[in-house]
Amino acid sequence: MLFKSLAQNKQPNIIFLMTDDQRWDNMGCYGRPEFYTPNIDKLASEGVVFDNAYYAVAICMPSRVTMMTGRYNSNHRVGFVAPDDYTLSQADFSKSYPAMLKKAGYRTGFIGKVGFTVTQETTRPSTPKKHFYKENMGTTFDFFAGSETRDDKGFVFWPENDTQLQDIYKPGRENSGRTLRTGEAMQRFIDTQPKDKPFCLSVSFYAVKHDANKDMYMPDFEQFKDVDFSVPNNYVEGENEKLPKVVKENARGVYLHRQRTAKQEQYQRLVRRFATQGYSVDDQVGLLIEKLKTKGLLENTIIIYTSDNGRFQGTHGLFDKCLLYDEAVKAPLIIYDGRMDATKQKRRENALISSVDMASTIVSLAGLKPTESMQGKDITGVLNQTQDMSQWRDTVFMEDLFLVDMFKARANPNADAINEKLVSENKSYRARGVRTKKWKYFVYYEHNPKIEELYDVENDPLEQNNLATNPEYKKELKKFRKQTEYLYQKAIK
């Protein structure tokens, strides 16, 4: 029996939890117990843990839009830099999973970092000074407590007359922190949930991004302040001479590594702080689950836990994200379905999953049909083990459209011309590629000549030996070039 009988005929509640910049292996259930995440680990032990989940794009704004709309970055074109620096139109937002569930009778909520802007018509640039959340998202969300990047700047909430929400986000409140405030808002959403409606709550934690004291709940730092964290074998102290010249000379992750993680002591300082924030998130996940149990809601609730992108933390001689190595593009993904019999959960899943699948999957879990605009797969068959895996995908597509010089020029009215100049000067490291269980291929396609990287990730999981120039792998190179172009053409349609 797949689902528990009491919940069989009900639309499930759905909670989508997303952290910010949390690397896939920075938690116990993914093999690094020094990152103390007991509640997430328990959720993982009772649900399905995906070991081959990847981001279609690994930077926050486009990644969030991809997961909410089920569309690739080259399709929705919402991002930080020209020429793909559009806002998301209301028409496109109306086809996102929260809007679809709202129309189907769900009570919808959003808490935390929005990270992108919805406007009446799509416009450029994508980072306006004001966001007008209530005007542009008020018909989609019944409950909202969020802002663009941090909850102490440009914060908006509704219902405006909710005195407990007012108290949670009261300026200058003591013994608080951004993750605790997010957790309290989650609790408030559950406490105000009517008994006769299903709900869909999307939570985007501000953690684990940034590392200043104000970004952390400092009491949680005590247990990590003297921990020596393991150092990945592909961590590079100082410069990484193996990186392509265009990356070494132009990518943000290179100079941020020099500033932040190029020395072992810098690495340890930062990772302790990221672990602190991960633990604070974990604590709120535990409190959320207890609240669902107390309210009698857990047996009919699906919880999805992921992040928006990874982070290098010194591996490959890089900090930051975006580039298509696994530390940036591999995703943590845990799905717990309270309706599902335990015999169908409590397992790890090896199927290839893309972040573009999230919208189609959430819509399907609610009993609805994904829109034609959604390009991802519905993974519910993988979840409940009814999918014929011989018919499942063997490849995921990924891309990186970010250039730091274009980010610096994002408000410049001549951004397109600046972009064309960067490309003509061979300074573009935009990339796209594919990942299978055995292979990783990507190409810096605007560089002349094109620069390619090919890894046998089955035997070289840390991506240390680029095989693209090895004549023994001409056949694989030809295959993945063709596959990348094919999937890109599908993505832009």
3-class secondary structure per residue, the chain: CCECHHHCCCCCEEEEEEECCCCCCCCHHHCCCCCCCHHHHHHHHHCEEECCEECCECCHHHHHHHHHHCCCHHHHCCCCECCECCCEEHHHHCCCHHHHHHHCCCEEEEEEECCCCEECCCCCCCCCCCCCHHHHHCCCCCEEEEECCCCCCCCEEECCCCHHHHHHCCCCCCCCCHHHHHHHHHHHHHHCCCCCCCEEEEEECCCCCCCCHHHCCHHHHHHCCCCCCCCCCCECCCCCCCCCHHHHHHCHHHHHHHHHCCCHHHHHHHHHHHHHHHHHHHHHHHHHHHHHHHCCCHHHEEEEEEECCCCCCCECCCCCCCCCCHHHHECCCEEEECCECHHHCCEEECCCEEHHHHHHHHHHHCCCCCCCCCCCCCCHHHHCCCCCHHHCCCCEEEEECCCHHHHHCCCCCCHHHHHHHHHHCCCCCCEEEEECCCEEEEEECCCCCCEEEEEECCCCCCCCCCCCCCHHHHHHHHHHHHHHHHHHHHHHC
Cα–Cα distance measured from residue 180 to residue 220, given in angstroms and rounded to the nearest whole number: 11
CA distance 321 to 473: 28
CA angle 153, 158, 164 (to 5 degrees): 90
pTM: 0.97
481: pLDDT strictly greater than 90: yes
pLDDT at site 475? 98
pLDDT tens digit sequence for 260-283: 999 999 999 999 999 999 999 999
End-to-end CA distance of the chain: 40
Q: Does residue 258 share a domain with residue 316?
A: yes
How confident is the model at residue 176, as a pLDDT? 87
Rounded-to-integer distance, Cα 475 and Cα 458, Å:
17
Q: What residue type is 8 in one-letter code? A: Q
Query: HSE on the CB side for 215, CA within 13 Å?
Result: 18
- Tell me, what's the pLDDT at 225? 96
Q: Average pLDDT of the chain?
A: 96
Regarding whether 381 and 414 lie in a shared domain, the answer is no
If pLDDT is split at 50, 70 and 90, which confidence band does 458 have?
very high
CATH code of 410's domain: 3.30.1120
Closest alpha carbon to 356 in 3, 75, 41: 75
Decide if 175 is inside a domain: yes
Q: What is the pLDDT of residue 9?
A: 52
More confident residue, 369 or 171: 369
Q: Which two tokens stand for residue 400?
A: 């990186």
For residues 248 and 99, membership in a common domain is answered with yes
Could you report the per-residue pLDDT of 94-114, keeping only the tens digit for each? Answer: 999 999 999 999 999 999 999
Please check whether residue 365 lies inside any domain of the structure: yes
* CA dist., res. 229 & res. 492, Å (int): 42
With respect to residue 226, please indicate whether it lies within any of the assigned structural domains: yes
Of all residues in the chain, what percent carry a pLDDT higher than 70? Answer: 98
Number of neighbouring beta carbons within 10 Å of residue 4: 15
Written as six digits, the tokens of 232 are 């990945």
284 and 326 co-located in one domain: yes
- What is d(CA 57, CA 398) in angstroms, rounded to the nearest whole number? 6
The reply to whether 427 and 372 lie within a common domain is no
Q: Is the predicted pLDDT of residue 2 greater than 70, yes or no?
A: no
- pLDDT above 80 for 3: no
- For residues 379 and 70, give the distance between their C-alpha atoms in angstroms, rounded to a whole number: 12
Residues 9 and 80 in one domain: yes
Q: End of a domain among 386, 407, 440?
A: 386
| 444 φ, ψ (degrees, to nearest 5) | -85, 90
Q: Residue 315 sits in a domain of what CATH number?
A: 3.40.720.10
* Domain boundaries, position 482: 397-492
In a shared domain, residues 294 and 440: no
The pair of three-digit structure tokens given for residue 175, joined into one six-digit string: 């013994």
**Same domain, residue pair 151 and 288:** yes
How many CB atoms neighbour CB 265 within 10 A?
8
- For the stretch 4-38, pLDDT in tens is 433 445 899 999 999 999 999 999 999 999 999 99
Flag whether pLDDT at 1 surpasses 70.
no
The more confidently predicted of residues 145 and 128 is 145
> Nearest to residue 468, comparing CAs of 478, 460, 458?
478
Tokens found for residue 332: 């943590």
Choose among 293, 296, 340: nearest CA to 48. 340
Domain end point (choices 363, 386, 409):
386
Residue 201 pLDDT > 50: yes
Structural domains in the chain (count): 2
Q: Are residues 228 and 301 in the same domain?
A: yes
Over residues 59-72, the pLDDT tens digits come to 999 999 999 999 99
Residue 119 placed within a domain: yes
Whether 185 is in a domain gets the answer yes
Does residue 261 share a domain with residue 406? no
Q: Is residue 469 part of a domain?
A: yes
The domain boundary residue, chosen from 332, 366, 386: 386
The answer as to whether 392 is a domain residue is no
User: Tokens for 227?
Assistant: 């921990």
Are residues 212 and 334 both part of a single domain? yes
Q: What is the pLDDT of residues 289-334, one digit of tens each?
A: 999 999 999 999 999 999 999 999 999 999 999 999 999 999 999 9
Measured CA to CA, the distance from residue 128 to residue 160 in angstroms comes to 24
Residue 75 has pLDDT above 80, yes or no: yes
Separation CA 492–CA 399 (nearest Å): 12
Let me know if residue 26 belongs to a domain: yes
* Predicted pLDDT at 6: 35
What amino acid occupies position 66? T
Phi-psi region of 297 (alpha: psi -120 to 50; beta: other; left: phi over 0): alpha
| Per-residue pLDDT tens digits for 216-258 | 999 999 999 999 999 999 999 999 999 999 999 999 999 999 9
Are 487 and 434 in contact by the 8 Å Cβ rule? The answer is: yes
> Do 349 and 474 fall into the same domain?
no
As a whole-number percent, the residues of the chain with pLDDT over 90 amount to 93
